[in-house]
């Protein structure tokens, strides 16, 4: 045999051996699956469905959501500089993001050139207002001195001068009177002419007038001039005081403006209030682009957050809970946190807060509401930093020992729940009472015991069993009425389901006939008013149109048509006796 033929045979033998190994593995797969999942048991399709063995085990209901890590205690560094224009203030220097800083380290240096120019201009304004303030102070002092000068100097001098003038005038008058008397004696003796006597008389009159003028001058000085000058001087003082107050306010305002400018210049140099790691307060839009950029050369406005210094010892995760599950989450629930950056790390936390209102949806978002939930992380290992993506598992409910079954093994029928058992090729329904579910298993509170087998995918086999008829809405109302002791007839006649037959499978005529038969205990086709309940008797008193003390079927249907909304067939049936 040639070497090539030998190689070909070897290859064929190897291929056959591979096929045998694959065939053995395929044959062993069912056995392997049974060993790995002992709770399930099945045979061939003809033998029966897949079954599940009900067991008692730990029940855990967890909600898993994703969120971002952030600090629970962020110190926000804001721009405190008032913008001189609409664009804001320019960042000259900023510490690189991620830098670990100490208290007092310089974080940001803003452009202060415009403020420094304002400081120079405002300093000149302050000097001018200070000079005007000094002038106003001196003017007030001068006005007060002028008042004292007049009252205690000029007025006293004028008063004394007026009094001297009166004394002189009196002396002149006295002398003129004496001269006139002497002239009269001389004239009588013929020593002086008559003209001289007339001259002496005129001198007396002149002296009297001079005395009146002097007295009047003193009186005017004391009564009018003094008061006029006092009022004028007081007015000058008040005017000087008002000007002084105005100048003081102006100078104070100018000084405050200068101090504000100086404080703004100081705020252009931003320092760290505490140690921490620098995180820029940039904002990313829904398209992934940064809408707010924090960097050297960028413009920032007053009160804008520039840097955050998170506290690494107090970290939390902010996740969004769907509105369908938010009612299950409460403050204080335990949670487990796993970080995408450190998948082997498992952290523990507690639900700190669940928002009362949903997060505003974006323009392109869905109508599903989501509520932000804050989970506080109990420990802070190395490497935990803001911005990391995390998966949060919130433990909504935990039962250490509960009977459970897969959710596929339970189906709803009416207002009850059922499982299916399979024995001897037949299916049997089993009503169960269920509790909580975690979307994988459901807690069985009654109807099944540990160790029993139920059919998986039970809803697919529900047509192979006979289930109790689902009562209509009216039948359920009648049942509740019987439990509460309420007359069934009164409840049905007041039920809107009769007037709205689309809500029940019973027609109005069928319901009305059923009520009539229920109340007709004797089967005579008439209801005696005296035998009806008192509450119903008062309502049906007017139905006895012929006044015979009883209600037949025609009268009953007519009364029902008046009380209820007449549905199809009700008015037609009431028209026939």
CB 132 within 8 A of CB 250: yes
User: Are residues 84 and 125 part of one domain?
Assistant: no
What number of residues does the chain have? 577
User: What are the b/e assignments for 44-68, b being 16+ CB within 10 Å?
Assistant: eeeebbebbebeeeebbbebebebe
- Residue 79: CB atoms within 10 A of its CB come to 21
- Whole-number pLDDT of residue 292: 73
Which comes out higher in pLDDT, residue 524 or 7? 524
- Whole-number pLDDT of residue 222: 87
Mean pLDDT, residues 526-553 taken together: 76
Residue 438 lies in a domain: no
CATH number for the domain harbouring residue 569: 1.10.238
Has residue 386 got a pLDDT over 50? yes
Residue 392 lies in a domain: no
91, β-bridge pairs:
110
Top mean-pLDDT range of 66-75, 80-89, 479-488: 66-75
User: Are residues 256 and 139 part of one domain?
Assistant: yes
Residue 255 lies in a domain: yes
Mean pLDDT, residues 495-516 taken together: 54
- Whole-number pLDDT of residue 194: 84
User: Are residues 272 and 262 part of one domain?
Assistant: no
- pLDDT class of 473 with cuts at 50, 70, 90: low
User: Are residues 242 and 100 part of one domain?
Assistant: no
Top mean-pLDDT range of 126-130, 298-302, 501-505: 126-130
Residue 356 lies in a domain: no
Has residue 392 got a pLDDT over 70? yes
- Whole-number pLDDT of residue 573: 40
- Sign of the alpha-carbon torsion through 531, 537, 541, 543: negative
- pLDDT class of 570 with cuts at 50, 70, 90: very low
Has residue 567 got a pLDDT over 50? no
- Whole-number pLDDT of residue 1: 42
Write the Ramachandran bin of 251: left for phi over 0, alpha for psi from -120 to 50, otherwise beta. Answer: alpha
* Residue 64 structure tokens: 């898993």
- pLDDT class of 408 with cuts at 50, 70, 90: very high
Residue 244 lies in a domain: yes
- Whole-number pLDDT of residue 150: 87
- Whole-number pLDDT of residue 360: 81
* Residue 544 structure tokens: 């006895």
CB 394 within 8 A of CB 63: yes
User: How far apart are alpha carbons 456 and 56 in whole angstroms?
Assistant: 17
- Whole-number pLDDT of residue 505: 46
- Return all residues near 40 (Cβ < 8 A) that are at least 6 apart: 34, 50, 51, 52, 53, 456
Which of 255, 282, 310 is at the close of a domain?
310
71, β-bridge pairs:
315
Top mean-pLDDT range of 302-311, 379-388, 509-518: 302-311
- Whole-number pLDDT of residue 155: 87
Residue 47 lies in a domain: no
Residue keyed to tokens 């099944």: 448
Mean pLDDT, residues 554-567 taken together: 64
- Residue 217: CB atoms within 10 A of its CB come to 17
- pLDDT class of 242 with cuts at 50, 70, 90: very high
- Whole-number pLDDT of residue 552: 84
CB 138 within 8 A of CB 190: no
- Residue 279: CB atoms within 10 A of its CB come to 21
- Whole-number pLDDT of residue 563: 56
First to last CA, the chain: 111
Has residue 149 got a pLDDT over 70? yes
Mean pLDDT, residues 435-449 taken together: 90
- Return all residues near 475 (Cβ < 8 A) that are at least 6 apart: none
- Whole-number pLDDT of residue 477: 63
User: Are residues 178 and 295 part of one domain?
Assistant: no
Mean pLDDT, residues 341-351 taken together: 91
Has residue 133 got a pLDDT over 80? yes
User: Are residues 139 and 200 part of one domain?
Assistant: yes
User: Are residues 123 and 86 part of one domain?
Assistant: no
- Whole-number pLDDT of residue 136: 93
User: How far apart are alpha carbons 481 and 488 in whole angstroms?
Assistant: 6
Has residue 23 got a pLDDT over 60? no
Mean pLDDT, residues 389-399 taken together: 91
Has residue 469 got a pLDDT over 90? no
CB 473 within 8 A of CB 434: no
Extended beta strands in 365-438, E state: 370-377, 389-406, 411-413, 416-423, 426-437
The CA dihedral of 178, 183, 186, 187, to the nearest 10 degrees, is -150
CB 543 within 8 A of CB 551: yes
User: How far apart are alpha carbons 67 and 113 in whole angstroms?
Assistant: 43
Percent of the chain whose pLDDT exceeds 70: 78
Which comes out higher in pLDDT, residue 403 or 40? 403
- Whole-number pLDDT of residue 40: 47
Has residue 15 got a pLDDT over 50? no
Has residue 415 got a pLDDT over 90? no
For the segment 176-224, what is each residue's pLDDT rounded down to a tens digit?
Answer: 898 888 888 888 888 888 888 888 889 889 989 999 998 899 899 988 9
Mean of the per-residue pLDDT values of the chain: 80
Which of 212, 234, 267 is at the close of a domain?
267
Q: What secondary structure does DSSP assign to 150-199, as a single string? A: IIIIIHHHHHHHHHHHHHHHHHHHHHHHHHHHHHHHHHHHTSS-HHHHHH
Mean pLDDT, residues 309-333 taken together: 89
For the segment 26-79, what is each residue's pLDDT rounded down to a tens digit?
Answer: 444 444 444 434 444 444 444 568 999 999 999 998 889 999 998 888 888 999
Poorest-pLDDT segment among 17-31, 76-90, 118-132, 367-381? 17-31
Residue 207 lies in a domain: yes
Sheet (strand 305-310) strand order:
74-78, 305-310, 279-280
On the CB side of 239, CA atoms within 13 Å amount to: 9
CATH number for the domain harbouring residue 235: 1.10.287
User: How far apart are alpha carbons 200 and 178 in whole angstroms?
Assistant: 9
- Whole-number pLDDT of residue 511: 66
Residue 541 lies in a domain: yes
Has residue 519 got a pLDDT over 90? no
User: How far apart are alpha carbons 236 and 145 in whole angstroms?
Assistant: 11
User: Are residues 569 and 482 part of one domain?
Assistant: yes
* Residue 67 structure tokens: 């969120």
Has residue 138 got a pLDDT over 90? yes
User: What are the b/e assignments for 265-275, b being 16+ CB within 10 Å?
Assistant: bebbebebeee
User: Are residues 120 and 253 part of one domain?
Assistant: yes
Which of 234, 267, 300 is at the close of a domain?
267
| Distance set, CA 399 to CA 327, 435, 440, 485 (Å) | 19, 11, 15, 39
Query: What's phi and psi for 76, nearest 5 deg?
Result: -90, 125
User: How far apart are alpha carbons 545 and 527 in whole angstroms?
Assistant: 13
User: Are residues 253 and 124 part of one domain?
Assistant: yes
CATH number for the domain harbouring residue 288: 2.40.50.100
Has residue 385 got a pLDDT over 70? yes
* Residue 196 structure tokens: 């001289």
CB 409 within 8 A of CB 82: no
Range of the domain at 239: 114-267
User: Are residues 291 and 240 part of one domain?
Assistant: no
- pLDDT class of 561 with cuts at 50, 70, 90: low
User: Are residues 228 and 139 part of one domain?
Assistant: yes
* Residue 420 structure tokens: 């299916």
In the chain, the number of structural domains is 3
- DSSP character for 333? -
- pLDDT class of 520 with cuts at 50, 70, 90: confident
């Amino acid at each position: 045999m040639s070497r090539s033929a030998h190689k070909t045979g070897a290859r064929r033998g190897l291929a056959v051996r591979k096929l045998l190994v694959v065939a053995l593995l395929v044959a062993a797969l069912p056995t392997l699956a049974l060993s790995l999942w002992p709770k399930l048991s099945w045979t061939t399709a003809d033998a029966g469905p897949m079954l599940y063995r009900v067991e008692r085990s730990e029940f855990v209901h967890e909600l898993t959501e994703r969120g971002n890590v952030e600090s629970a205690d962020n110190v926000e560094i804001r721009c405190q500089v008032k913008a001189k224009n609409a664009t804001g203030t320019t960042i000259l220097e900023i510490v690189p993001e991620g830098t670990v800083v100490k208290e007092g380290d310089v974080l940001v240096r803003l452009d202060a050139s415009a403020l420094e120019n304002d400081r120079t201009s405002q300093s000149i304004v302050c000097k001018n207002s200070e000079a005007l303030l000094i002038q106003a102070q001196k003017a007030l002092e001068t006005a007060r001195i002028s008042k004292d000068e007049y009252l205690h100097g000029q007025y006293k001098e004028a008063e004394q001068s007026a009094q001297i003038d009166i004394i002189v005038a009196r002396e002149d008058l006295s002398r003129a009177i004496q001269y006139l008397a002497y002239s009269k004696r001389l004239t009588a003796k013929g020593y002086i002419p008559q003209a001289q006597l007339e001259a002496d008389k005129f001198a007396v009159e002149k002296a009297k007038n001079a005395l009146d003028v002097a007295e009047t001058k003193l009186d005017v000085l004391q009564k009018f001039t003094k008061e006029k000058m006092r009022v004028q001087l007081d007015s000058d003082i008040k005017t000087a005081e008002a000007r002084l107050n105005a100048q003081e306010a102006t100078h104070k305002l100018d000084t405050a403006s200068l101090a504000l400018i100086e404080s703004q210049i100081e705020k252009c140099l931003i320092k760290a209030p505490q140690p921490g790691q620098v995180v820029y307060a940039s904002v990313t839009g829904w398209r992934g682009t940064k809408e707010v950029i924090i960097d050297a050369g960028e413009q920032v406005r007053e009160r804008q957050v520039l840097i955050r210094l998170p506290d690494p010892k107090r970290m939390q995760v902010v996740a969004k809970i769907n509105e369908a599950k938010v009612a299950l989450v409460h403050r204080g629930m335990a949670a487990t946190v796993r970080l995408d950056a450190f998948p082997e790390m498992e952290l523990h936390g507690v639900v700190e807060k669940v928002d009362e209102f949903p997060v505003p949806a974006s323009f392109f978002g869905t109508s599903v509401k989501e509520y932000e939930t804050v989970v506080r992380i109990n420990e802070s290992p190395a490497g935990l930093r803001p911005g990391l993506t995390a998966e949060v598992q919130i433990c909504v409910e935990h039962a250490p020992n509960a009977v459970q079954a897969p959710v596929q093994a339970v189906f709803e029928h009416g207002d009850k729940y059922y499982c299916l058992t399979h024995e001897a090729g037949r299916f049997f329904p089993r009503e169960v009472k269920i509790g909580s579910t975690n979307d994988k298993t459901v807690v069985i509170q009654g109807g099944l015991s540990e160790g029993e087998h139920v059919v998986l995918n039970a809803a697919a086999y529900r047509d192979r069993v006979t289930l109790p008829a689902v009562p209509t809405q009216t039948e359920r109302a009648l049942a509740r009425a019987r439990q509460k002791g309420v007359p069934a007839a009164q409840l049905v006649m007041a039920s809107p389901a009769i007037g709205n037959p689309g809500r029940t499978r019973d027609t109005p005529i069928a319901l009305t006939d059923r009520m009539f038969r229920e109340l007709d205990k004797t089967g005579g086709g008439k209801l005696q008013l005296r035998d009806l309940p008192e509450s119903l008797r008062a309502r049906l008193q007017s139905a006895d149109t012929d006044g015979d003390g009883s209600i037949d079927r025609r009268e009953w249907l007519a009364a029902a048509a008046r009380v209820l909304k007449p549905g199809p067939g009700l008015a037609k049936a009431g028209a026939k006796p």
